[in-house]
């Protein structure tokens, strides 16, 4: 991604910001290229906002938010229902737009959008989700009840790898709760966010409630420092997540920051190997491995299991088809950019230097007619050990590492002792093994014969350790708590004449 002054770009598409119900052309001198990963060419230009544009977006949001919050939850839910309907009607064109910027195949992009739609569907129940608690007669003529009220203006900073799903995970609950939302999408995949904002306006969302401001670190820091932004949700790498969390928290904001991952899949000797391999292949190589819930590490228990698994993986990988994002027969497409491709290749080189066995090398792959695209064939390592840096760090590409274990206890220790703790899975027919794994593994999301254990929308998504900073997860009921504040009311309505009793001790209900 290059940052340089704007220059004439011929017919190159310009990606706008979206403020107060309208697209807004970029102003200022800094801009960024948006690439098509399948071709390796610039397809659009993205103007990078300066803090004054963020100030305008926040001011508009702050002015609009009280009226939106004052609507009863049922009316806000109706807007969300219509928003969901409009996205569903346009899912094909949205998926194609997403794939053109990210590189994932169109079918995968539809899944990206659908997982976001699931969260919109969940928050259509916002009248129920916002219900508080009530206790009657806690003392003489005294009742206590609680309310959940919006925070005001909140923000989301989203990554390149899920340009629809993660923005919707954030903005849908935030807006349904009565907040106004500032979205700062990834500079690599910005266009879907603008189209989603347009559809939200078409659905009846008032102007100013959903603002899209494009930018780089300048705008991220401006969001974190802005006094009128009360909460920030973030997804990205762990180092950046920690920085965002600390800076935002220091500014007094409520923070929710999701970081990187190195998810493990344990394969027991009794596993249904055919099903496990099919699951592992999809979880490791789908979306070119650019998922925080990908499965880049597989842990066979026992040497016989390891040999059987390796042979089965090689057979399955040989059938994979790497292609352009619009190829309906492709299993996965290119990675997002040239720099990211080079980073993945560096990790492959590192793994070889560290002594891992490179069984399949995905470097050097070229697709006819798309020689400049950012493609990598599937890579497979065996005999990887926990001391290797290539194991310790997140690669975020189509690279699968086999780490062999002798016992279930040894296998459980691998994800449990890793710096990341997003997800872990086990493949087994044994309820005893599954129960032990579930109880002991140190990860936030666990799969039993499920390779990518991303919870459904009415639960919540969140990892442990350096995979998450903050104590509330994304979507589900945690998102309602994150985007609201609790007000507890203690009230007394006397039903009889009472004697005024002045007291200087803390009140009790006895």
User: Which of 85-94, 185-194, 376-385, 501-510 has the least mean pLDDT?
Assistant: 501-510
Residue 241 is predicted with a pLDDT of 97
Residue 5 is predicted with a pLDDT of 32
Which residues share a beta bridge with 447? Answer: 425
Q: In angstroms, rounded to a whole number, what is the distance separating the alpha carbons of residues 103 and 325?
A: 5
Q: Which residues carry out catalysis?
A: 292
Q: Report pLDDT digits (tens) over 185-239.
A: 999 999 999 999 999 999 999 999 999 999 999 999 999 999 999 999 999 999 9
Domain boundaries, the chain: 3-8+16-259+469-488, 264-448
Is residue 475 a contact partner of residue 173, using CB atoms and an 8 Å limit? Answer: yes
Minimal CA–CA distance to 360: which of 397, 314, 316, 320?
314
Q: In angstroms, rounded to a whole number, what is the distance separating the alpha carbons of residues 380 and 396?
A: 14
> Would you place residue 507 in the very low, low, confident or very high pLDDT band (cuts 50, 70, 90)?
confident
Write down the CATH number for the domain with range 264-448. Answer: 3.40.309.10
Structure tokens at 235: 């997804």
Residue 509 is predicted with a pLDDT of 65
pLDDT greater than 70 at residue 510: no
The overall average pLDDT reported for the chain is 94
Q: Name residues whose C-beta falls within 8 Å of residue 151's C-beta, 6 or more positions apart in sequence.
A: 179, 230, 231, 254, 483, 484, 485
Q: Report pLDDT digits (tens) over 461-494.
A: 999 999 999 999 999 999 999 999 999 999 999 8
> Would you place residue 29 in the very low, low, confident or very high pLDDT band (cuts 50, 70, 90)?
confident
In percent, how much of the chain has pLDDT > 90? 92
pLDDT greater than 50 at residue 331: yes
Q: Report pLDDT digits (tens) over 368-401.
A: 999 999 999 999 999 999 999 999 999 999 999 9
Minimal CA–CA distance to 461: which of 473, 477, 453, 451?
473
> Would you place residue 500 in the very low, low, confident or very high pLDDT band (cuts 50, 70, 90)?
low
Q: pTM score, two decimals?
A: 0.93
Residue 9 is predicted with a pLDDT of 43
pLDDT greater than 60 at residue 6: no
pLDDT greater than 50 at residue 3: no
Minimal CA–CA distance to 405: which of 441, 432, 452?
441
What kind of architecture, by CATH, is found in domain 3-8+16-259+469-488? 3-Layer(aba) Sandwich (3.40)
In percent, how much of the chain has pLDDT > 70? 96
Residue 2 is predicted with a pLDDT of 35
Q: Name residues whose C-beta falls within 8 Å of residue 77's C-beta, 6 or more positions apart in sequence.
A: 123, 124, 125, 126, 127, 176
pLDDT greater than 60 at residue 1: no
Is residue 501 a contact partner of residue 456, using CB atoms and an 8 Å limit? Answer: no
User: Which of 130-139, 147-156, 354-363, 382-391 has the least mean pLDDT?
Assistant: 130-139
> Would you place residue 4 in the very low, low, confident or very high pLDDT band (cuts 50, 70, 90)?
very low
pLDDT greater than 60 at residue 10: no
pLDDT greater than 50 at residue 7: no
Is residue 144 a contact partner of residue 95, using CB atoms and an 8 Å limit? Answer: no
Instruction: Give the pLDDT mean for 282-303.
Output: 97
Q: In angstroms, rounded to a whole number, what is the distance separating the alpha carbons of residues 439 and 416?
A: 11
> From residue 43, how far is each of 4, 188, 233, 406 by CA, in Å?
16, 11, 29, 50
Maximum CA extent, the chain: 91
pLDDT greater than 50 at residue 25: yes
Full 3-state SS string of 452-473:
CCCCCCCCCECCEECCEECCCC
Question: Helix (H, G, I), strand (E, B), or coil: what is residue 302?
Answer: coil
C-alpha angle 57-474-431 in degrees, rounded to nearest 5: 165
pLDDT greater than 90 at residue 495: no
């Amino acid at each position: 991604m290059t940052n340089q002054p704007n220059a004439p770009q011929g017919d190159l598409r310009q990606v706008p910001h979206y403020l107060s119900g309208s697209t807004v052309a970029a102003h200022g001198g800094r801009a960024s290229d948006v690439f098509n990963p399948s071709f390796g060419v610039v397809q659009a230009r993205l103007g990078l906002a300066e803090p004054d544009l963020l100030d305008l977006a926040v001011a508009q949001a702050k002015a609009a938010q009280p009226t939106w919050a004052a609507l009863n939850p049922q009316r806000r839910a109706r807007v969300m229902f219509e928003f969901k309907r409009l996205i569903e009607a346009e899912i094909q064109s949205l998926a194609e737009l997403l794939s053109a910027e990210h590189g994932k195949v169109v079918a995968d992009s539809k899944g990206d959008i659908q997982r976001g739609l699931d969260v919109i569907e969940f928050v259509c129940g916002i009248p129920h989700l916002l219900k508080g608690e009530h206790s009657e007669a806690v003392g003489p003529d005294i009742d206590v009840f609680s309310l959940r009220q919006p925070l005001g203006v909140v923000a989301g900073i989203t990554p390149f790898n899920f340009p629809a799903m993660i923005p919707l995970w954030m903005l849908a609950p935030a807006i349904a709760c009565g907040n106004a939302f500032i979205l700062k999408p990834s500079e690599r995949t910005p266009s879907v966010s603008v189209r989603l904002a347009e559809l939200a306006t078409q659905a009846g969302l008032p102007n100013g409630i959903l603002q899209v401001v494009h930018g780089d670190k300048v705008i991220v820091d401006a969001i974190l420092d802005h006094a009128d932004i009360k909460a920030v949700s973030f997804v990205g790498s762990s180092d950046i997540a920690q920085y965002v969390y600390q800076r935002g928290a220091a500014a007094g904001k409520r923070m929710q920051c999701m970081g990187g991952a190195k998810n493990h899949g344990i394969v027991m000797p009794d596993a249904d190997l055919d099903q496990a391999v099919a699951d592992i292949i999809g979880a490791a190589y789908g979306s070119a491995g650019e998922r925080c819930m990908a499965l880049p590490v597989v842990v066979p228990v026992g040497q016989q299991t390891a040999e059987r698994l390796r042979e089965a993986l090689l057979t399955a990988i040989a059938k994979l088809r790497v292609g352009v994002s619009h190829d309906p027969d492709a299993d996965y497409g290119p990675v997002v950019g040239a720099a990211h491709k080079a980073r993945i290749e560096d990790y492959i080189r590192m793994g070889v230097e560290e002594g891992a066995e490179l069984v399949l090398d995905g470097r050097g792959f070229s697709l006819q007619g798309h020689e400049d695209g950012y493609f990598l064939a599937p890579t497979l390592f065996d005999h990887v050990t926990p001391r290797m840096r290539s194991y310790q760090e997140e690669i975020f590409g189509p690279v699968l590492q086999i780490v062999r274990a002798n016992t279930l206890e040894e296998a459980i220790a691998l994800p449990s002792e890793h710096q990341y703790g997003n997800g872990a899975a086990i493949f087994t027919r044994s309820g005893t093994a599954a129960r032990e794994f579930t109880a002991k593994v140190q990860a936030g999301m666990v799969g039993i014969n499920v390779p990518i254990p991303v919870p459904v929308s009415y639960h919540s998504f969140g990892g442990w350790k350096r995979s998450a900073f903050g104590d509330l997860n994304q979507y589900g009921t945690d998102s309602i708590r994150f985007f609201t504040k609790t007000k507890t009311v203690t009230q007394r309505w006397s039903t009889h004449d009472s004697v005024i009793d002045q007291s200087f001790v803390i009140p009790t209900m006895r």
